[in-house]
Amino acid sequence: MGRIPTLYDLLGVSPDASADEVRAAYRRAARAHHPDRHGDAASAQMADINHAWRMLGDERRRREYDLSLADPTVTSIGSSARPQSTRPPGAAEPAFNPLARYQDPPRFPWRFMAVMALVGTAFVMLGVFTTGDPKPHAVDNVLHAGDCVVIEANGDASERLCSDPHDGVVEVFLSNGSACPADTEPHRDLLGMGIACVRRLTTSGAVAPLGEVGNSEAG
């Protein structure tokens, strides 16, 4: 069995040739086999020549290639030798399976997600226990619907905290001279900004339902 040609043989130089000699040999081979001169038939040989130059024209690659020549078991970057197949002789090529990459999908990080969920829950619970009850609405006598009020001696409506004793709840606050809804009492607010339509509390302390205040006053 004859010796397998090397990249040095392809360029026509010896393995101990200098870098300048390798460069000059590549130029000669490229001129001699360029497809512009010999047509497409020379394309394959020109590709081999270019590969030889890429390997031998680079100092690191040439050193690794020389090691692979000295010891065939050493693999080198860009070596023209292909790895030997480990398939038994006569065995058929495996069929292409487009779904092969889905047969072993990446594992979902369930443990990490569970830890993050526990941390998030702990932050929520901590916020609930540290926030406490919200501060009550401050009394500013700027009346809005839903505010609790007491009726002063002059008939004006004065805001109070709903947790304190009060006479009624503002149903609607009017600033345009409209009439209050039925079963509410019109009272001027202390700031003179409009009329508060107040629904009075019943004797039990609850807001009187529609119709009850008027009927009790009529009786």
- Give domain status of residue 90, yes or no: no
Find the range with the poorest average confidence among 42-46, 131-135, 184-188.
131-135
Distance CA 161, CA 167 (A): 11
Q: What is the radius of gyration, based on Cα positions, of the chain?
A: 48
Q: Which two tokens stand for residue 202?
A: 């019943």
The single-letter DSSP state of residue 74 is S
Confidence at 100, pLDDT banded by 50, 70, 90: very low
Q: What's the pLDDT at 102?
A: 41
Distance CA 182, CA 165 (A): 24
Helix (H, G, I), strand (E, B) or coil at 64: helix
Q: Which domain holds residue 167?
A: 148-211
Q: What's the pLDDT at 129?
A: 65
- Give domain status of residue 127, yes or no: no
Looking at 44, 70, 96, which one is the last position of a domain? 70
Helix (H, G, I), strand (E, B) or coil at 187: strand
Q: What's the pLDDT at 175?
A: 78
* pTM for this entry: 0.33
- Give domain status of residue 173, yes or no: yes
Phi, psi of 207, deg, nearest 5: -70, 130
Looking at 70, 97, 124, which one is the last position of a domain? 70
- Give domain status of residue 160, yes or no: yes
Average pLDDT of span 73-78: 47
- Give domain status of residue 109, yes or no: no
Looking at 51, 70, 89, which one is the last position of a domain? 70
- Give domain status of residue 128, yes or no: no
Give residue 77's identity as a one-letter amino acid code: I
Name the domain count of the chain. 2
- Each residue's pLDDT tens digit, 170-181: 898 887 778 899
CATH number at residue 42: 1.10.287.110
- Give domain status of residue 166, yes or no: yes
- Give domain status of residue 133, yes or no: no
